[in-house]
């Protein structure tokens, strides 16, 4: 069902995005990986170099495409940055990548989808559903992703668009993102890894394939995915 579909994935150079790119390649999709470190993209992925914090670069990157079937908004940043004491520069970085760039890429992709409709898949987070004590500004960005997903779905229905929109909201997934989130708290990361058998990027990729392979007319809205031993 995904054979020859043209898919753009942001952040395909690491973690979840990389695993989704690899899974899509095995399904016969044409995969474009948008990121900064294009040298880290999996073999077979077409590189699209872009810094998502630069709106001009996003516009230029998408202008090189003639059409698109699927956009996966996956790139994201996670820092421990409380509302009360966090560094506002970290808030800004997270907002730019997790929220603003996701909106800009979605606008660009909508212009490239066929009349029969495309599909946008947003990689959100469990932190877009509940706020853990350390959620801080990261959780705020993921609540924003959830709101944007719902807002766009409503907008598309208003114009009878056939484009589908979905999201995946994972709990802990063992990727390099956790090293940034737990920076300076490596003992807590080690303890969390000992207590929680974390999800793998491949678990998220399998869910992405399920969502993107849904029959026409079926829109899987949000899949909330936790390791079975993640308590909160
Ligand atoms: N890991 C978890 O526990 C977890 C849980 C729930 C949700 N998520 C979400 O899953 C998504 C993927 O996270 P991950 O864990 O796979 O993280 P990761 O391994 O750190 O990968 C992040 C990706 O984002 C890209 N990126 C970051 N800043 C960018 C920029 N300015 N321009 C272009 N690309 C940029 C990176 O590419 P370059 O550095 O090459 O640019 C990289 O490919 C994120 O949205 C995250 O919030 C993760």
Structure confidence by residue, pLDDT tens digits, 60-114: 999 999 999 999 999 999 999 999 999 999 999 999 999 999 999 999 999 999 9
pTM summary value: 0.98
**Any catalytic annotation for residue 181?**
no
Kindly list the distances between the CA atom of residue 70 and the CA atoms of 67, 125, 209, in Å, as whole numbers in the listed order.
10, 20, 12
CA distances from 109 to 62, 77, 159 (A): 8, 21, 16
Please provide the distance, in angstroms rounded to a whole number, between the alpha carbons at the two ends of the chain.
Answer: 35
Instruction: Answer whether residue 231 is part of any domain.
Output: no
Q: Which atom of ligand 1 is nearest to the CA of 180?
A: 20
Give the chain's domain count: 1
Q: Is the per-residue pLDDT at 3 higher than 90?
A: yes
Q: Is 53 in the pocket of ligand 1 (CB under 6 A)?
A: yes
In a domain, residue 1? The reply is: no
Question: What is the reported pLDDT for 155?
Answer: 98
pLDDT above 70 covers a percentage of the chain that reads 100
Question: What is the DSSP annotation of 103-118?
Answer: HHHHHHHHHHS-TT--
Q: Does any ligand 1 atom lie closer than 6 A to the CB of residue 13?
A: yes
- Considering the domain boundaries, does residue 232 fall inside one? no
**Is 84 a member of any domain?**
yes
**Which of 12, 15, 120, 174 has most ligand 1 atoms within 8 Å of CB, for mutation?**
15
Answer yes or no: is 159 within a domain.
Answer: yes
Query: Could you tell me if residue 59 is inside a domain?
Result: yes
CB of 138 within 6 A of ligand 1: the answer is: no
Task: Name the β-bridge partners of 31.
Answer: 7
pLDDT band at 206 (very low <50, low <70, confident <90, very high): very high
Mean pLDDT, to the nearest integer, of 182-205?
94
CATH number reported for the structural domain that contains residue 14 in this entry: 3.40.50.720
Res. 1: pLDDT tops 90: no
> Residue 45's domain spans which residues?
6-225
Confidence of residue 145 (pLDDT cuts 50, 70, 90): very high
Catalytic residue among 138, 143, 172, 181: 138
141 inside domain: yes
Over 90: is that where the pLDDT of 216 sits?
A: no
* pLDDT of res. 101: 99
Give all strands (DSSP E) within the chain, no chain letters.
Answer: 6-10, 30-35, 46-49, 70-73, 119-123, 164-170, 222-225
pLDDT interval class at 232 (50, 70, 90) = confident
pLDDT at 167: 98
Alpha helices in 118-200 (DSSP H): 136-158, 177-181, 186-195
Q: Is residue 199 part of a domain?
A: yes
Q: Can you tell me which atom of ligand 1 is nearest the CA of 126?
A: 6
The mean pLDDT of the chain is 97
Percent above pLDDT 90 for the chain:
96
The predicted pLDDT at position 231 comes to 84
């Amino acid at each position: 069902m995904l054979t020859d579909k043209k898919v753009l994935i942001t952040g395909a150079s690491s973690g979840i995005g990389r695993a989704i790119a690899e899974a899509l390649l095995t399904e016969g999709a044409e995969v474009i990986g948008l990121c900064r470190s294009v040298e880290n993209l999996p073999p077979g992925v077409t590189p699209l170099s872009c810094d998502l914090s630069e709106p001009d670069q996003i516009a230029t990157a998408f202008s090189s495409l003639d059409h698109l079937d699927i956009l996966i908004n996956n790139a994201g940043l996670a820092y421990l940055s409380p509302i009360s004491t966090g560094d506002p520069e970290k808030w800004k970085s997270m907002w730019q990548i997790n929220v603003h760039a996701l909106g800009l890429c979605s606008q660009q992709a909508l212009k490239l989808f066929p009349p029969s409709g495309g599909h946008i898949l947003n990689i959100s987070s469990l932190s877009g559903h509940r706020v853990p004590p350390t959620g801080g500004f990261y959780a705020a960005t993921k609540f924003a992703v959830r709101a944007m997903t719902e807002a766009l779905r409503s907008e598309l229905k208003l114009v009878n668009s056939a484009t589908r929109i979905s999201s995946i909201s994972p709990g802990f997934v063992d990727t390099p993102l956790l090293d940034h989130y737990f920076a300076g708290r490596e003992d807590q990361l080690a303890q969390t890894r000992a207590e929680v058998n974390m999800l793998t990027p491949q678990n998220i990729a399998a869910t992405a394939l399920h969502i993107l392979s849904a029959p026409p007319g079926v829109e899987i809205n949000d899949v909330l995915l936790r390791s079975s031993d993640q308590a909160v």
